[in-house]
Chain A
Amino acid sequence: MKALGNRSGLPLKQLGLIAFGGLLIAGIGLGFESAFLLGLAAYTCAFAIFALSVNIMLGGIGEVPLGQCVFFGIGSYAPAIVMQQGGYPFEVGILIGMTVSAFLAILIGWLTLRLTGAYFSIVSWGLSGVAMVTALNLEVTGGPLGLFGFTRLAIGPFDLSSPKVYFIASAVILLVVLVFLAHVRSSRFGNALESTRQSSHLAQSLGINVFRERLKALVLSAPIAALAGSLCIPYTQIVTPEVMSVIRTVDALLAALIGGTSLLIGPVIGAVIFTILPQLMHFDANVKVLVFSLLIIFIIMVAPGGLHQLYKSAVARYRHGKKERA
């Protein structure tokens, strides 16, 4: 139960955390001038939102949702298609992407969430395979070349083509998503999910409709993934069938696992490590995959709770050692 953290935390503490987040955003947004760094930071926020969405499934109900990239991809393709084919603004595309992915999640979840474990993961992976082949073969998605050359990427009055605005906008959206998820966690639904994850049979016997709670979790996670997909467009400037690739989900899974799946903020920490570290070390993309794959094997073997578990046990050991010396 400790996994839920400060569920009955004081509103004051929450407000303090939100204020801290706001200050951090303002500090980074105003303090840095480099367009490259700001763009990267904005992309990290978008990626963190996707990792949070994946973690609703991974940390929330204990399934490995390999096909979560389908919702991410819909979130990327929807604004791109809407802008290029219909000439509608970016925001409309984001909303369409989120709505479509939520409805698709109802359908997909209704079909697949009765399966668990590897079976669910394989079907979920399968959906991403179908989605990628579909994106490759359809005309409206631009085939293998994808869609690019977007003229106006803006949310309301905020023009995302300026790196500073792009960063502040995506960081604020990330903060809003975090606050929203914190409320979901401490709600009745959050508790029901946690009990479902720990023991679905026990939860069922207590009168929780396990299937419906799992479905709710997927429907909650899908629009968040779509939102992340939309927010990546100003950084990537192109949408190709690759957005549906299972590799994208795996990246988010790694981020969530590195940061710790039981921690609300875990996926965000993981996403920051996952995008910033390779840039600092000038990793080649393949070296990055190799290093993080090995890291994740190491983490699952040594500290299944993620890096914060390592940190906690290190602190505990340090205190223990101090006591012995005294």
Chain B
Amino acid sequence: MDLFVQTVINGLILGSGYALVAVGLTIIFGTLHIVNFAHGAFFALGAYAVLTLQNFGVPYLLAIPLAAIVVAVIGYALELSIVRRALYDRGEHGSIIITFAISQAIVSAIILVIGPDPIPVKSPFGQTAMSVFSYFISAQRLFIAGTALVVLVGFGLWLRNSTKGQQILAVSQNAKGALYSGINVPLIRSLSFILGVAAAGLAGSLLAPLISAFPTMGDANVTIAFTVVILGGLGSIGGALLGALVIGLSNAFFETYVSVSWTPALGWILVILVLLLWPQGLLGKAQLNRH
């Protein structure tokens, strides 16, 4: 029973990290209609930004928001120079390859500038574990879950209550209709892209102390985020949260009760099953990506 509860706690905390990555992915898909295969690279950029800032003496807690801003700036530069010109309103064929190429370019640039080896990232929470009702939770994990929760709730409220947030929702529902009602669609798309990659960078900077920073660190997390997003329904934010919890729990249970070395395959198997069985996801709209 103890092991069971501990697994549930681990799963929920894991899920909150996935939710951050997944929300960024789903927002970009919702408004830009591209699947951002470069999301993992932005995740890694967030971790490396924290690492670099720490080397300059910036404390970890301050480095996290700064890292998200750095990633947002890089994202904006790429949006202006590539994404905007090459992707909007073109076929998916091109967007898959271009975002993949961006991801490869970022990863190889990281290897060339910083190096291929994993670098541990220090965090003030260190290895301390807290005991809550006799269950152990590492302080860093609790911090991740807390931050993710605050950011996600804040983001949800912002989407619901602010003008810009409403405009993002409008563009994702119907871009043409939004354009006709006077919404600056290109601006909203840039904003969504920046917010999406900043969320990925934030997740990277939060998770870096747990898994250390290495160039391809984003791959595993983003493949899981794909599962989360597809399970929740591409473009649906509530769905992404629900999907994150489901995937986080199932990963934790698989790791505890079945096998650690096969866990990476679980994410992929879930993606495949979800796509084959519920391609519209749990909360997504029915869509036309099928024959």
Residues of A within 8 A of B (CB): 62-64, 66, 111-112, 114-119, 121-123, 125-127, 129-130, 133-134, 136-137, 200, 204, 210-211, 247, 250, 253-254, 257, 284, 286-287, 289-290, 293-294, 296-297, 300-301, 304
Contacts and interface: CB of A to CB of B under 8 A. Distances in A.
Contact of B92 (A112, A118, A130, A296): A118
A126 B268 contact: yes
8 contacts: A114-B290, A115-B279, A126-B223, A126-B269, A126-B275, A293-B101, A293-B102, A296-B97
A293 B96 CA distance: 13
B271 A123 contact: yes
A286 B108 contact: yes
Contacts of B262: 133, 137
Contacts of B35: 118, 121-122
Contacts of B107: 289
Contacts, number: 127
Contact of B289 (A116, A125, A134, A257): A116
Contacts of B283: none
Contacts of B183: none
Interface string B103-116: 01101110110001
A293 B275 contact: no
B264 to A, nearest CB: 5
| B interface: dominant SS | helix
Given A118-B92, A123-B272, A129 B108 contact: no
A64 B94 CA distance: 9
A66 B99 CA distance: 13
A236 to B, nearest CB: 20
Interface in B60-111: 82, 85-86, 91-98, 100-102, 104-105, 107-109, 111
A297 B271 contact: no
B230 interface: yes
B291 A211 contact: yes
Given A118-B96, A200-B291, A300-B86, A123 B105 contact: no
B276 interface: yes
Contacts of A63: 93
A133 B264 contact: yes
B38 to A, nearest CB: 10
Contacts of A210: 291
A293 B268 contact: no
A121 B112 CA distance: 28
Contacts of B5: none
B261 A137 contact: yes
